[in-house]
Homo-oligomer: A and B are copies of this chain.
Amino acid sequence: MHRDSPAPPERMARVRAMLHELDVDALLFLDMKNVRYLTGFTGSDGALVIGNKQEILLVDGRYTNQARKEVEGPRVFEYKDKEKIDGIAAILSDGSLRSVGFESQAMNVNTYLNLTEKLGGLKLNPMSDQIGALRAVKDEKEIAFIKKAAEISCEALTAVRDLIRPGVREKDIAIELDFLMRRRGAEQVSFPTIVASGANSAQPHAQPGSRAIENGDMVIVDCGAVYCGYHSDETCTFAVGYKDKKQEEAYSLVKTAHDRALEAVKAGIPCVEIDRIARECIETGKLGKYFTHGTGHGVGLDVHEAPRIASNSEMVLEAGMVLTVEPGVYIPDLWGVRIEDMILVKEEGCEVLTKVSKDFTVLH
C-alpha cells in the first residue's frame, strides 16, 4: 500500500471528457494499472466504473479496507469472492446506462461473454488504448517516482560491475543485481533482469543462465527497479578483458545512434522521427539489418507503455513523456550491443534520468 500513490482529480475529469468523445454512458476499467492511475488504488484485482453520475471502485473483501484508505473520490463497492462479473453487472445495470466502453485488451472473452449475457440490452463498446495516451505524459509526482526508481537501478548496476569478470555466471550477476535493487528500496524489479554474455548477448531477450563470463565477451546488462509503482529501465554493454576492434566499432556506432536520437528529442517531434534517426545512423554503418527491434518505449506504471518509438508509431512527443532510447545491434551467434537510457522529454531537448556512463568500457 502506498499512501503517496498519486491520483489527481484531473485524471478523472479527462476520463469524463472521453465519455462524450466515445459516445458512451460509462467506462469500465479492468486494467489494474489504469485503475491505479485513475484512483490511487494499488490492489491487484478489482474494476472501476466511471459514468456521468457514477464513480465506483469494485473490489473483493480482501481489498475493501485498503481501497477505502487509498481512494478519495470513488465510492467503494465490495463484490463477493469469485463473483466479480456479477458485481460489475450489478453496478452497470442501475438502469441509467445504455452503452459502456471497455478496454478490449484488458478483458478476456470469458468475462465478455458472461457480462454481455448478464447485461441484456446494455451495449459493451470495445475501446482502444485511450488511457495509454493519457498516461504517457507524466506529472511531477510521477517523474519523482521514476527518478527514484532510476537512481536505485543505477546504484545497483554500478555496484555489480565488479562481479562482471571471467568465471562468474550470468545468473549470479542477475541475482545479485536484483538483490541490490531491492535492498536499495525497489518494491520489485521492473522485468526479469537480463545479463547476457558472449553469444547470448546476440539475443535481445536472453535469459541469464549458467554460462560463465569469458575474456573477450560483450556483456549486456538490462535492468530496472519499481518505486511506488513506477518503473525504470537502463541497459549497459560492457567489454570484458580486452578491446576487440569490431566490437568497439559496433559499440561506437550504436552509441552515435543513441546520442543522435537523444539530441533530436523534444516536444513536437514525431516518435517515428526518433526511430528513423537511430535506424539511419546504424544503417549508414552497414549494421542496419542487425538492429532488430524498435528504438524505445514509454515507461511509467508499466515498463512498456505509450509512446512506442518505432517505425510505425503514430504519437508525437510531448513535454513530460518518459521514454527509453535503446538502439542495439546483434550479430547472430557472436555478440550484441545495446545502449539504453531513460529520458524525460522537455519543451526543448530532454533530461537523461539514467546515470550509468555509456562510454565504451572494458572491465577487468
B175–A183 CB distance below 8 A: yes
Within 8 A of B (CB), among A76-124: 102, 104-110, 112-113
B205–A62 CB distance below 8 A: yes
Q: Which of A62, A107, A109, A172 has the most CB of B within 10 A?
A: A109
User: A292: which B residues are within 8 A, CB to CB?
Assistant: 61
The verdict on A167 contacting chain B, using a C-beta distance below 8 Å, is no
Q: Is the interface of A mostly helix, strand, loop or mixed?
A: mixed
The verdict on A16 contacting chain B, using a C-beta distance below 8 Å, is no
Bound CA span A286–B157, Å:
53
The verdict on A1 contacting chain B, using a C-beta distance below 8 Å, is yes
Copies in the complex: 2
Bound CA span A38–B22, Å:
42
13 additional contacts (CB under 8 A) given A1-B207, A171-B182, A178-B179: A1-B209, A62-B204, A62-B205, A102-B109, A104-B110, A104-B113, A105-B110, A106-B108, A107-B108, A108-B108, A110-B126, A175-B179, A178-B182
User: A113: which B residues are within 8 A, CB to CB?
Assistant: 104, 126
5 closest Cβ pairs, A-B complex = A104-B110, A104-B109, A175-B182, A179-B179, A105-B110
Bound CA span A209–B183, Å:
13
The verdict on A192 contacting chain B, using a C-beta distance below 8 Å, is yes
Chain A 202-221 interface mask (CB, 8 Å, partner B; 1/0):
01110101000000000000
Contact among B61, B109, B183, B192 with A188 in the assembled complex (CB-CB below 8 Å): B192
A112–B112 CB distance below 8 A: yes
User: A109: which B residues are within 8 A, CB to CB?
Assistant: 102, 104-105, 107-109, 112, 126
User: A62: which B residues are within 8 A, CB to CB?
Assistant: 203-205
Bound CA span A102–B108, Å:
12
User: A178: which B residues are within 8 A, CB to CB?
Assistant: 178-179, 182
Within 8 A of B (CB), among A229-284: none
A84 to chain B, nearest CB (A): 13
Chosen A-B contacts, 5 in total, with CB atoms closer than 8 Å, are A62-B203, A172-B183, A175-B179, A178-B182, A188-B192
A292 to chain B, nearest CB (A): 7
Minimal Cβ-Cβ distance residue in B for A108: B105
Bound CA span A203–B62, Å:
8
Within 8 A of B (CB), among A39-68: 61-62
User: A172: which B residues are within 8 A, CB to CB?
Assistant: 183
Within 8 A of B (CB), among A192-208: 192, 203-205, 207
Bound CA span A192–B112, Å:
29
A2 to chain B, nearest CB (A): 10
Minimal Cβ-Cβ distance residue in B for A62: B205
Chain A 110-147 interface mask (CB, 8 Å, partner B; 1/0):
10110000000000001000000000000000000000
User: A205: which B residues are within 8 A, CB to CB?
Assistant: 62
Bound CA span A204–B102, Å:
31
User: A188: which B residues are within 8 A, CB to CB?
Assistant: 192
A177 to chain B, nearest CB (A): 11
User: A108: which B residues are within 8 A, CB to CB?
Assistant: 104-109
Within 8 A of B (CB), among A282-311: 292
Bound CA span A200–B203, Å:
43
Minimal Cβ-Cβ distance residue in B for A175: B182
User: A203: which B residues are within 8 A, CB to CB?
Assistant: 62
Bound CA span A178–B172, Å:
13
Minimal Cβ-Cβ distance residue in B for A114: B104
Minimal Cβ-Cβ distance residue in B for A294: B81
